[in-house]
Amino acid sequence: MKNKMGVAGLIAVVQLSTAFVQAQEVEPGFKSLFNGKDLAGWAGRTNHWSVQDGVITGQTTKENPAQGNNFLIARDGDKDLIVADFELRLSFRFGTNAWGNSGIQYRSKAFENYVVRGYQADMETGPTHTGGLYEEGGRGILCKRGDKIIVRENPAKPNKGAVEVVGSLGDTKQMQSKIKAGDWNDIIIIAKGNHLQQFINGMQTVDVVDEQPSKSAKNGVLALQIHAGQPMQIQFKNIRIKTLD
């Protein structure tokens, strides 16, 4: 029988197959958290999160704004995925909008209506914060890009902690020059004990030792953020994780 699929249909099948294969090919010891097809294994507000062209896409518009920051949360069956000591690898890019603000939550706490608070590997379309460590709903900016820090208890401001900069990882402006606007960037997050490290495109951007027991987190959920504000698009792909001993 003559094949009636046509060139367009064949291309679509090849693209879908390629996306699925890429989602399954991970480094030894790593597990893929995204199948390249749909949001199976994730939970979030369906009016903001979807899969487009084989990648996870967070999208807001003037007609469909975010009512507060919200998150796409990784799941483990019928419950949230809890991460402790791990290495996470993935790629992200912002859309063509002039503005964008997002992040990757880890060891965080989930609340109703897909609100998440905790450690966040920060990212934006601006020139300052991508690669930094922010604490959503908590201590705010913990580590600026390029810094190596220790966070300790601060009796005078117990909700903020005392941050000591103990070293430098490089010039933040030079780091910004290696972050690709509107294109894919690779990010790695390593969390082991109270030591947190983040890398973008092969360069380490923060090094944090969190010695504030009242605020530090040893485990929690993993999630992707879309920020309230102007219309924006953020995309993620090739999400894989390895548990560290």
pLDDT in tens for each of the 245 residues of the chain? 444 445 444 444 444 444 444 445 789 999 999 999 999 999 999 999 999 999 999 999 999 999 899 999 999 999 999 999 999 999 999 997 789 999 999 999 999 999 999 999 999 999 999 999 999 999 999 999 999 999 999 999 988 999 999 999 999 999 999 999 999 999 999 999 999 999 999 999 999 999 999 999 999 999 999 999 999 999 999 999 999 99
80 in any annotated domain: yes
d(CA 131, CA 115): 22
1 in any annotated domain: no
Residue 167 belongs to a domain with what CATH number? 2.60.120.560
| Separation in Å, CA 125 to CA 91, 131, 194, 205, 240 | 15, 12, 29, 16, 24
Range of the domain at 154: 6-243
Domain count, the chain: 1
Closest CA to 70 of 184, 232, 201, 202: 232
116 in any annotated domain: yes
d(CA 193, CA 191): 7
